[in-house]
Chains A and B, each alone.
Chain A
């Protein structure tokens, strides 16, 4: 029992990341009808927003500290971050410590801007072209984006820790009446899951309850009719692209403490996220979220020692295996609509 709960929990954080990326992919596909292979790159750029902000916050200038001496007796040169000058050392330390959560504020405008720029500059020219062309051009864009990041940040993973308040683990087991240390779960992963749940909820609420969301949903169902009503659907779809980019970016920001970001993390997640989208059903938002969590949890179960003893290597292939089975038995995925992407 303990093991099962632990695996469900373990699956949640990866599932959250899959669900968030898949949600963005589906938003773009549903609204614009574009298969965006650069979506993983947006996730990666989000992660590097966190890296960038923590670098900005630790930007330092050198001062000579007369009170300290190095071993030769000369006054010690000390690097002092600018934030110390502005906020004092104590507050400055807290700000630096909280770089990752603060990056959310930094990443939202950056990601929306990148998304809008991408849509206006590139994607909109591909609405009328075949899906294969869309896949290819966004695939090319993904390569370009990740190479730019690689050029500026190098090829190695950059550790970006969570605020020290969230380092450590929470003992779920004692709370549920099991023995201590049976089910321990890092704080940050709980936060990541909660964060993902909030974002997903926000996106759904936005689509469900705002006029804007209503128009977008109507446009997803029947673009031409909405346009005939005299509504400028294009502008809204552009903004939806920005929102989808922001969702991917935020997923990336918050993921940095779990896995140190590197330039190819986007591609790694993209492949899996596409599988998630297809399993969920192309064009279905609830399907994308459901499939994200289901596959994340299945993956974590497959990596249990007991399972691997019977079916070695299952953890490596489980997602693909499930995808193949689902696609063959339910051609439209778990919750897909009829007629999407079948031509």
Chain B
């Protein structure tokens, strides 16, 4: 189906169903119940799931397949975002040109950065990408303020030219749309105590994500993808087998840069704003965390990792000590306080601590990430079914 092996096609369909039904699946708890805060089915967060999913899928094509660890991919995301916002300022609030241009611009930029950085490998490559990204960030913050808006960033303004759009109605604000369908518009559906929100922007982003995911499956299964894995496995043998590793890795770098640009463009399509902090190196670090956490070199891993981190960032961080106290109210007072004190550092503002610990645990004990964890659990329950999403039924561990 669609040129995919049966098991890959099943995986794609599964992901498609999950993303389409996400507004239900992520809102399992009724409104007003104590567990409602674990609901992640609101548009803002769901959009972030799929957008960072795209970012991580792209990053995984570079890091997962070739083993080249880039610490500067946020720069491509940022450049994509700036390109998109300028399309919205100059051309139209329709998201299509914004997204297309963001991919192209990020592609060109990553071609330049990759062409230089890929002259070196190992940690030198990591440092070069980091240096380029930090330079982009610093320039966006300072000298390039006329293009980037500096510290304040950029938003579409009422009086921007937007040559393809008609004049705004009096008092109207520019809103991102897809041929008139506003990204911010949602349909709400109440069933009993449950409230489900179907957001136009989310579905646009989700469909783009599915396309990006499909593309990455094709790349993984192609001769090109195999060459990339060969680059990671043994570059020496590759060179002495008559294959030039450089254009292969550069192509992978540019593809992953374009994925990052796509994610950046979609971000702008959703919230119509951009700031330089999007390019800071910690943002590059975040996508590394996502890929590792989910399972580097696997198809679905990066998406899982992106989801897990964004969920923690948005849900875990909202739990405060009051909520903890209500949870453990059944315990005797002294014990309740003790338990709350014990847990408190790991939640709320301390969610980064939990993230760091989980990340370390994954690197130490579970180099294949959540995907490997899932496989181990599946094996534990005696299911002999082979993994559905790794090349040839074997994980390619992080390197």
Contacts and interface: CB of A to CB of B under 8 A. Distances in A.
The answer to whether A and B touch in the complex, with CB atoms under 8 Å apart, is yes
Interface of A: 35, 122, 125, 130-133, 135-137, 139-144, 147-148, 150-151, 267, 271, 274-275, 278, 282, 312-313, 316-317, 320-321, 323-324, 327-328, 331, 341-343
Contacts of B121: 342-343
Q: Top 4 A-B pairs ranked by shortest CB distance?
A: A143-B356, A313-B143, A316-B138, A147-B353
A30 to B, nearest CB: 14
A320 B356 contact: no
A151 B350 contact: yes
Given A125-B364, A151-B353, A271-B130, A313 B138 contact: yes
Given A317-B134, A328-B120, 15 more contacts: A132-B398, A133-B367, A135-B123, A135-B126, A139-B359, A140-B356, A140-B360, A150-B350, A150-B352, A271-B130, A274-B127, A316-B139, A324-B132, A327-B128, A342-B122
Contacts of B292: 136
Contacts of A35: 123
Interface string B39-82: 00000000000000000000000000001010000000000000
A137 B360 contact: yes
B124 A343 contact: no
Contacts of B359: 136, 139-140, 143
12 contacts: A122-B364, A125-B364, A136-B359, A139-B285, A140-B356, A143-B355, A143-B356, A144-B353, A147-B352, A151-B350, A328-B120, A341-B124
A132 B67 contact: yes
Given A323-B131, A327-B128, A341-B124, A316 B141 contact: yes
Contact of B134 (A313, A320, A343): A320
A195 to B, nearest CB: 28
A115 B31 CA distance: 49
* Interface SS of B by simple majority: helix
A103 to B, nearest CB: 25
Nearest to B357: A144
A328 B119 contact: yes
Contacts of A125: 364
Interface string B335-359: 0000000000100011011011101
Nearest to B361: A140
A282 B135 CA distance: 22
Q: How large is the interface on B (under 10, 10 to 19, 20 to 34, 35 or more residues)?
A: 35 or more
Given A133-B367, A136-B292, A327 B67 contact: no
B399 A320 contact: no
Given A313-B142, A317-B135, A331-B120, A135 B69 contact: yes
A131 B345 contact: no
Interface in B115-174: 116, 119-124, 126-128, 130-132, 134-135, 138-139, 141-144
Interface of B: 67, 69, 116, 119-124, 126-128, 130-132, 134-135, 138-139, 141-144, 281-282, 285, 288, 292, 345, 349-350, 352-353, 355-357, 359-360, 363-364, 367, 398-399
B120 A317 contact: no
B132 A316 contact: no
B356 A147 contact: yes
Given A141-B360, A320-B132, A327 B124 contact: yes
B345 A151 contact: yes
Contacts of A317: 134-135, 138-139
B122 A137 contact: no
A324 B125 CA distance: 10
Contacts of B352: 143, 147, 150
A328 B364 CA distance: 34
A321 B134 contact: no
Query: Which of B67, B355, B364 gathers the greatest number of chain A CB atoms within 10 Å?
Result: B364
A100 to B, nearest CB: 28
A161 to B, nearest CB: 28
Query: Which of B139, B285, B355 gathers the greatest number of chain A CB atoms within 10 Å?
Result: B285
Contact of B398 (A133, A267, A274): A133
Contact of B116 (A142, A147, A282, A328): A328
A328 B360 CA distance: 33
A316 B126 CA distance: 20
B128 A324 contact: yes
A278 B123 contact: yes
A6 B281 CA distance: 31
A312 B142 contact: yes
A147 B317 CA distance: 13
Query: Which of B131, B281, B355 gathers the greatest number of chain A CB atoms within 10 Å?
Result: B131
A321 B135 contact: yes
B116 A130 contact: no
Nearest to A343: B122
Contacts of A274: 127, 130
Contacts of B138: 313, 316-317, 320
Nearest to A125: B364
A136 B128 contact: no
Contacts of B399: 130, 132-133
Contact of A316 (B120, B142, B288, B350): B142
B123 A341 contact: yes
B189 to A, nearest CB: 39
Contact of B353 (A148, A271, A282, A328): A148
Contact of A133 (B124, B127, B363): B363
A288 to B, nearest CB: 14
A147 B144 CA distance: 33
Nearest to A320: B131
A324 B94 CA distance: 39
B123 A131 contact: yes
